């Protein structure tokens, strides 16, 4: 459980701008190094660390696509206003989940292993979290925005488990028994 929490913590440790295919590996290396420096800075409070790290990562993730993918077919069934509400709440949940894990960081390192083209407009950046006793894979999934040379993260696999697929299963199960408005209320009240 502890290792998974550290993995989740490092998921949101990326860049301050969207990237081209050619510079993903370099930018990831630079940004992850900066995030590790912030995490090690004992002069910063937990909130200060969270704010700095979130400012580094915000523009690298496509939260709207992540929200759509996590809802599956339900996304098409809800209004644009509900889509907007869900995206805001889901983004907040992802960030809060990250902030809760800041205290779990204990000098792990991240090694960039390289990129792998999975489709013409998809690639995965493979990394490893290296601790004193073990190594764990963290794979960032990127897609290329239409008509742009702009690559964004739409999912992250932690030790073989997709964050988006995990949420999709949770939300699907929730919506079998409750309404979409209940899901919005749940997200509003959760951390």
Q: What is the mean pLDDT of residues 6-24?
A: 61
Q: What is the pLDDT of residue 190?
A: 83
Among candidate residues 76, 66, 45, the one with its CA nearest the CA of residue 153: 66
CATH for 95: 3.10.450.710
What pLDDT sits at residue 84? Answer: 97
DSSP state of 21: G
The answer to whether residues 21 and 144 touch, using CB atoms and an 8 Å cutoff, is yes
pLDDT for the residue numbered 187: 96
Q: What is the pLDDT of residues 167-187, one digit of tens each?
A: 999 999 999 999 999 999 999
pLDDT for res 14 = 40
Mean pLDDT for 121-143 is 90
| Structural domain containing residue 150 | 2-189
- 65-122, pLDDT tens digit by residue? 999 999 999 999 999 999 999 999 999 998 887 777 766 677 888 899 999 999 989 9
Q: Is the pLDDT of residue 2 over 50?
A: no
Confidence check: pLDDT of 1 > 80: no
pTM over the 0.85 mark: no
DSSP of 73-108, one letter per residue?
THHHHS-HHHHHHHHHHHHHHHHHHHHHTGGG--S-
In the chain, the number of structural domains is 1
- Name the phi and psi angles at 108, rounded to 5: -70, 155
Among 19-28, 31-40, 92-101, 154-163, the least confident range: 92-101
């Amino acid at each position: 459980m502890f290792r998974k929490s550290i993995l989740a913590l490092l998921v949101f440790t990326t860049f301050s701008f969207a990237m081209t295919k050619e510079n993903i590996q370099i930018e990831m290396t630079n940004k992850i190094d900066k995030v590790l420096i912030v995490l090690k800075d004992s002069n910063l409070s937990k909130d200060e660390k969270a704010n700095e790290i979130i400012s580094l990562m915000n523009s690298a993730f496509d939260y709207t696509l992540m929200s759509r993918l996590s809802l599956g077919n339900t996304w098409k069934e809800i209004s644009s206003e509900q889509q907007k509400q869900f995206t805001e709440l889901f983004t907040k949940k992802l960030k809060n989940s990250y902030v809760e894990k800041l205290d779990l960081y204990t000098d792990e390192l991240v090694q960039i292993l390289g990129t792998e083209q999975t489709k013409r407009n998809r690639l995965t950046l493979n990394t490893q979290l290296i601790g004193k006793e073990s190594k764990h894979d963290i794979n960032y999934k990127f897609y290329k925005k239409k008509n742009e040379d702009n690559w964004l993260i739409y999912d992250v696999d932690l030790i073989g488990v997709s964050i988006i697929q995990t949420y999709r299963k949770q939300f699907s199960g929730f919506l079998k028994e409750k309404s979409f408005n209940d899901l919005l209320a749940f997200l509003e009240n959760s951390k």
